[in-house]
Structure 1
Amino acid sequence: MKKELREWFVAIIVAMILIIVIRQFLGISYNVKGESMDPTFRNDDRVVVSKISKELGHIKRGDVIVLHHDKKHDYIKRVIGQAGDKISYKNDILYINDQPVEENYLEENKKSKMFENLTPDFNIETLESTKAKAVPEGKIFVLGDNRLNSFDSEEFGFVNEEQIVGKVVLRYYPFREIKTNFEADQLSNIEK
């Protein structure tokens, strides 16, 4: 009996240490709040965020990330621009470094849009929140997939890389919508 209790005790301690290591360095679970990434993610979806992706420098244009906006709020957004990128929108078309980019992940929202353009025209040089020719070093530019209902870099400006929690790698709830790979490859193939 004592040997069995000791084995259970050791197993529980090892499990607790593994949980702490996993949460600290590898990944963490988040509950999506709000509609800013709809339909890619909906309110109350549950996702796993890979913290190691950030540590290894694997965050790239097109990835969906979680970021610390302030001490109370974490946001889920899509990386649109990285350091050195020039970002603009014209007639509902995204331009990165003057190259038009197709955003397949917006198709569902474009079908149901109420206004002529899903994304208003802008240029990061003229946005009140950014006013830069290009995304500065150590920063990224993010947008929500639900462009008409998203608080993002258009309003709060560039995101410091230190604010990034990690990359969303898995939606595990609702169970009928389990999915991995939310990247937008068409965004990662743009030249500087």
Structure 2
Amino acid sequence: MSTANGSVKSSIIEWGVAVISALLIAVVIRFFLFAPYEVNGTSMYPTLDGNELLIVNKIIYDVSSPSYGDIVVFHTEEQRDFIKRVIGVPGDKIEVKDGFVYRNNKRLTEPYLAEKMIGDFAAVTVPKGHLFVLGDNRNNSKDSRIIGSVDDSAIVGRADLVVMPFKEFRLLNK
């Protein structure tokens, strides 16, 4: 009987080690590598409807720099997270004329927009350590035109994957 007891004890210990290991791996992945993010609002419409669950890559900007077109999540002074598209990086001159965005005096082609932007925005140069971001729904977006350039330290990461609703499952950013 002691052999059966030892076998049961051994199995319980093995299962315990496996469960604890799995939990530790999940915690490391969740807090250091990837995080879920729920989209609220329509500032990124039509790319995002405002009811999606995304996976945000938190480590990507530790190994590379943000690129034009990346969809990023960042913290704001309002204690809220925003999601917007990178339009300008440090040193870029950004302006809006006649409803079109110009980066370094070249008009951007933005096929992800549903409608022309209303209004102009005077030229600004993106400071070092910052990004200029805009929502895809430009006429209904609180973005760098209002809140200013986003400090790199506020960036949570790049939104890479839409996971819910499941029928909308897809990769973002490329």
Relative to the length of structure 1, the TM-score reads: 0.82
CA distance in 2, matches of 1:87, 1:119: 16
CA distance in 2, matches of 1:15, 1:70: 35
2:8 counterpart of 1:37: no
CA distance in 2, matches of 1:10, 1:70: 42
Partner amino acid, structure 1, of 2:91: G
Aligned to 2:4: none
Aligned partner of residue 105 in structure 1, secondary structure: coil
Q: Which structure is richer in relative contact order (CA contacts within 8 A, separation 6 or more)? A: 1
Aligned partners of 2:129 and 2:152 also within 8 Å: yes
Aligned to 2:77: 70
Deviations 1:138-170 (A, max 9, x none): 011111111111111111101100000000110
Shift of 1:92: 2.2
Shift of 1:71: 6.4
Aligned to 2:165: 174
Aligned partner of residue 172 in structure 1, secondary structure: strand
Aligned to 1:122: 121
Deviations 1:74-115 (A, max 9, x none): 011101110000001112221100011100110xx22xxxxx
Aligned to 1:81: 88
Closer, same or farther in 2 for the Cα pair 1:20/1:124, shift >3 Å? Answer: farther
Aligned partners of 2:96 and 2:123 also within 8 Å: no
Identical aligned pairs, as a percentage?
A: 41
Deviations 1:32-66 (A, max 9, x none): 11111111112220000001111112311210000
2:32 counterpart of 1:20: no
4+ aligned runs moved over 3 Å, structure 1: none
Aligned partners of 1:89 and 1:119 also within 8 Å: no
CA distance in 2, matches of 1:58, 1:169: 15
Aligned partner of residue 112 in structure 2, secondary structure: helix
CA distance in 1, matches of 2:78, 2:29: 22
2:56 counterpart of 1:57: no
CA distance in 2, matches of 1:137, 1:67: 17
Relative to the length of structure 2, the TM-score reads: 0.90
Aligned to 1:143: 134
Query: What are the ranges of 5 or more consecutive residues in structure 1 without an aligned counterpart?
Result: 111-116, 126-133, 184-192
Query: What are the ranges of 5 or more consecutive residues in structure 2 without an aligned counterpart?
Result: 1-7
2:99 counterpart of 1:92: yes
CA distance in 2, matches of 1:11, 1:149: 48
CA distance in 1, matches of 2:78, 2:24: 26
CA distance in 2, matches of 1:24, 1:124: 38
Aligned partners of 2:75 and 2:81 also within 8 Å: yes
Aligned partner of residue 16 in structure 1, secondary structure: helix
Residues matched between the structures, number? 167
Aligned partner of residue 36 in structure 1, secondary structure: coil
Q: Which has the higher strand share?
A: 2
Shift of 1:21: 1.3
